[in-house]
Structure 1
């Protein structure tokens, strides 16, 4: 019975994260901030949730997949954007115990790096000008900069707040 409850909790956590990620991405899309070379997806703050639970890994991947249905890059973004998010979530989970003053300071790096490289390449490949190193570096830098701002300035405070709530209520995830 206990194993079924844990499995259900894992599924519910993953589904909730996917739903919240999708809604936040669509809100950013309404402000024209979710797709393209300049991205400030508020949902990317959630990419640090694998620090707390492994259920965030599939949750983030499904949320990204659903969000990218509305991307101008279509199926390509659904595949490669989701792959970048999945790989970043796995790497974030691996870095969860690397902490400075109990803050997982390296956790934002995988989403920044994976998105900069994968989405930067995706944008450069499908650019009307065609693939070029200048196009790749330009897209990688703008996507990476947006991701950096969101992950470090929204994601880390989110993690700190969730940790504080968890400590106060004696909730321990990992």
Structure 2
């Protein structure tokens, strides 16, 4: 019975942490909604991607947050499936890459660069939906993502010093 209680408690904690992270992602995206979508975008909520470096189970909260936020996108019919799956794939890829270094600062840089490079998916969506020039969109969205990840990375790195995300009961 004791083992069953521990398992159900762990399950509840995972569900709650997933919901909290998703809600934070959606809330920050809603606050910055005018600049969170389109050919020039800075989605500061992307900073929550860094949580995955501390606990891999946070991948589900971040992905759910992206899924829900993408319903507000002008290209939501493309953004919901493509953006969500792209985020999940990139996060799993980064988790794999992160195994090769212990230095959290290097992990943050790797994540920021990979996410900026992955913005070809959003540029593709905009090309399909609005015929915006792919390469120009890729450049502007990539720069916006790099900016989001750089600012968000500094915030999350500093927050981790105070909160210790790896050991936090979230």
TM-score, normalised with respect to structure 2: 0.84
Stretch moving more, 153-162 or 136-145? 153-162
Q: 1:4 matched to which residue of 2? A: 8
The 3-state SS of whatever aligns with 1:55 is helix
Q: 1:41 matched to which residue of 2? A: 43
Runs of 4+ in 1 over 6 A off after TM superposition: none
- Cα distance 1:156–1:100, how it changes in 2: closer, same or farther (>3 A)? farther
Stretch moving more, 69-78 or 154-163? 154-163
Alignment of 1:2-151 (within 5 A): 2-29=6-33, 32-99=34-101, 101-103=103-105, 104=107, 105-114=109-118, 116-128=119-131, 135-151=133-149
**Larger relative CO (CA 8 A, sep 6+): 1 or 2?**
2
- Whichever structure has more helix as a proportion of its residues is 2
Aligned length: 163
- Cα distance 1:66–1:155, how it changes in 2: closer, same or farther (>3 A)? same
- The yes-or-no answer on 1:159 pairing with 2:157 is yes
TM-score, normalised with respect to structure 1: 0.82
